[in-house]
Amino acid sequence: MSKSAKIWFVTGASKGVGQRLVRQLLARGDRVATTSRTVVSLTEAIGPASGQFLPLQVDLTDDQSVRSAIEQTIKTFGKIDVIVNNAGYAQQGTIEGLSDVELRENFNINLFAPLTVLRHALSHLREQRSGHVVNISSIVGFQGGYAGWGSYAASKFALAGLTESLAAEVAEFGIKATVVYPGPVRTDFLSSGALAVAKRQIDEYTEAKASLDLHLGALHGHQAGDPEKLAMLIMQAVDVAAPPLHLFASKIANELAAQKAAAVQHDIDAWKGSSEATDFVE
């Protein structure tokens, strides 16, 4: 391993962007620990374990399982330079149509799993006074105006907020943080086997139903985002001396982010007088 090579810990690497990222990292000589629900899924997707590649069977909702994975990675490779919280899934369903179980399971993977990883990894990064945390959100974690995607949007908004707070919290230790907002990426993310659809659907919500039909029909398999290029963008952001806190990925993501920023500024300007009138008059 060259002096410039890094040691990565990547969750959800058996498919999609995570798989592409790990393959590219290994090809350039980095060392990578990856997680999935089974080691078999990782070795089938990426290859056998080696001095460069450590596949780990991890239940991201189990505190001890995550702790053991972090400890095994450090025992094997000596340290961790980059953490990529990539594991996640989309939950579709109206707010009143989602069950408590569906909602909490979505947050368990999309938000609480990254939190668990960080709770067990940050002490090591703090001690070595270096590291980079990359949390994979979604453009719906910045611009969430899509009917029927409230659970997914909320979990990804929360992950973005967590990353912002984390960046402020760990900067003094030389640790960096980046939240990635991809637009639609051409993986199996929206396939019928990967997308969770609420068991209880509300027929009156025509916009939510239309959005589901669009994502399962016209959009799936035709997403503009290239997962290989997205993986390259993540690597590029980690390699630079001054990485971005907010990284939007794709033309669509940039356009939607700009629209959201303009809409927020419009509301600020329109209500500025009334808003500032709520302060005490000293």
> What are the residue numbers of the active site?
152
The SS3 assignment for 99 reads coil
Structure tokens at 128: 């070595």
**How many Cβ atoms are within 10 Å of 99's Cβ, its own excluded?**
12
- For residue 165, the number of C-alpha atoms closer than 13 Å in the C-beta half-sphere is 8
Say how many C-beta atoms besides its own lie within 10 A of residue 269's C-beta: 9
Q: Are 205 and 98 in contact (CB under 8 A)?
A: no
Strands (E), 146-238: 175-182, 196-197
- Cα separation, 100 vs 112, in Å, equals 16
Angle, helices 100-107 vs 150-170, to 10°: value is 30
